[in-house]
């Protein structure tokens, strides 16, 4: 079995010990697996052992993309898996990722599941991950999420590290860059995680979508052709005067799968609100498009 590295950017997560425990209980052979936690651990929940390494970072590496890049440069694996610090992998998560790589896939994304107890958290998850729900079909996708992603190291060596100039949407940019480099993005719904973010209040949901908008829009404009971004997205005023229509269109796309509507129809008003908030964030901080130099990794570099 080839060496496998699981990289988790951590920001004082209260779930990180559960995440690590879930990884150690995988049905796959874990003898060649290393778990690299990169970031900060103020609660002291990361316990290092023969499988787990903790790489502390300073303020200069506050973004998740910086932490993932440090993890990549530290990792020894031929297959790199990415998991967020608020995501609990299913017992067969690793098994399904590795199966797809064994079938020849180079980039594999998995499904996102979540709880229904908190209405705002549920609506936030539906709005963000509607296209990665476990009942959506396995297929080639236009982009994937680093909350649940596996990549052959050779892909990163060719395409480069994650962009470090964005607070959000760095995974959108990175996986679209994979496509531009000639690699296909494969979605395997059986490789599932349970997403449990701390976005369970109006203020936290508001901040999430306001922060998400400028970077997501920047990427969508940078890769307008690959992402089929509508031409009108280039006009700032649309996100103010046209916000109700933009939000309605985005909400309709969110519920376009019949099972999504059947399961989560009651979140529709809150999902629509997240789209309106996103429009406000896009208008407030309309992005300037610039080309950033891409960095290739040095496999021998250790941080």
Per the domain annotation, does 23 fall within a domain? Answer: no
Query: Residue 254 sits in which domain range?
Result: 202-284
pLDDT recorded at residue 1: 54
pLDDT tens-digit series, residues 230-282: 999 999 999 999 999 999 999 999 999 999 999 999 999 999 999 999 999 99
Got the DSSP string for 140-171?
Answer: EES---TTEEEEEHHHHHHH-S--SS-SS-HH
Beta bridge partners of 149: 82, 109
Does the pLDDT of residue 164 top 90, yes or no?
Answer: no
Task: Report how far residue 284's alpha carbon sits from residue 286's, in angstroms, rounded to the nearest whole number.
Answer: 6
- pLDDT value at position 2? 64
Per-residue HEC secondary structure of 20-48 comes to HHHHHCCCCCCCCEEEEEEEECCCCCCCC
Percent of the chain residues past pLDDT 90, beyond the cut: 89
Q: Residue 295 has what pLDDT?
A: 44
pLDDT, tens digit (0-9, with 9 covering 90-100), for 30-86 = 999 999 999 999 999 999 999 999 999 976 567 899 999 999 999 999 999 999 999
Residue 272 lies in a domain: yes
Please give the residue that has the higher pLDDT: either 297 or 222: 222
Q: Is residue 126 part of a domain?
A: no
User: pLDDT tens-digit profile of 116-155?
Assistant: 999 999 999 999 999 999 999 999 999 999 999 999 999 9
| Within-domain flag for 154 | no
Q: Looking at the 3D structure of the chain, how many domains does it have?
A: 1
297 pLDDT tier (thresholds 50, 70, 90)? very low
What's the predicted TM-score (pTM) here?
A: 0.91
State yes or no: pLDDT of 303 exceeds 60.
no
For residue 259, being part of any structural domain is answered with yes
Mean of pLDDT values over 86-106? 98
In a domain, 74, yes or no: no
End-to-end CA distance of the chain: 26
The pLDDT, as a whole number, for residue 298 is: 40
């Amino acid at each position: 079995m080839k060496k496998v590295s699981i990289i988790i950017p951590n920001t004082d997560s209260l779930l990180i010990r559960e995440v690590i425990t879930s990884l150690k209980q995988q049905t796959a052979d874990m003898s060649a697996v290393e778990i690299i936690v990169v970031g900060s651990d103020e609660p002291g929940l990361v316990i290092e052992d023969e499988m787990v390494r903790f790489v502390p970072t300073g303020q200069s590496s506050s973004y998740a993309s910086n932490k993932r890049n440090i993890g990549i440069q530290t990792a020894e694996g031929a297959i790199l898996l990415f998991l967020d610090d608020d995501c609990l992998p299913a017992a067969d998560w690793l098994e399904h990722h590795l199966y797809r790589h064994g079938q020849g896939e180079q980039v594999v994304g998995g499904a996102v599941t979540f709880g229904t107890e908190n209405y705002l958290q549920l609506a936030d998850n539906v709005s963000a991950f509607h296209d990665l729900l476990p009942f959506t079909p396995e297929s080639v996708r236009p982009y994937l999420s680093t909350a649940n992603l596996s990549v052959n190291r050779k892909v990163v060596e060719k395409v480069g590290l994650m962009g470090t100039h964005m607070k959000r949407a760095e995974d959108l940019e990175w996986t679209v860059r994979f496509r531009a480099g000639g690699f296909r993005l494969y979605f395997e719904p059986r490789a599932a995680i349970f997403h449990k973010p701390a976005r369970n209040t109006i203020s936290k949901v508001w901040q999430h979508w306001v922060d998400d908008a400028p970077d997501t829009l920047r990427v969508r404009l940078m890769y307008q052709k690959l992402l089929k971004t509508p031409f009108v997205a280039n006009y700032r005023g649309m996100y103010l005067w046209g916000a109700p229509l933009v939000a309605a269109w985005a909400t309709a796309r969110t519920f376009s799968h019949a099972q999504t509507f059947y399961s989560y129809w009651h979140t529709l008003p809150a999902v629509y609100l997240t789209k309106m908030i996103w429009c406000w964030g896009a208008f407030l901080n309309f992005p300037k498009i610039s080309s950033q130099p891409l960095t290739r990794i040095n496999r021998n570099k250790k941080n």
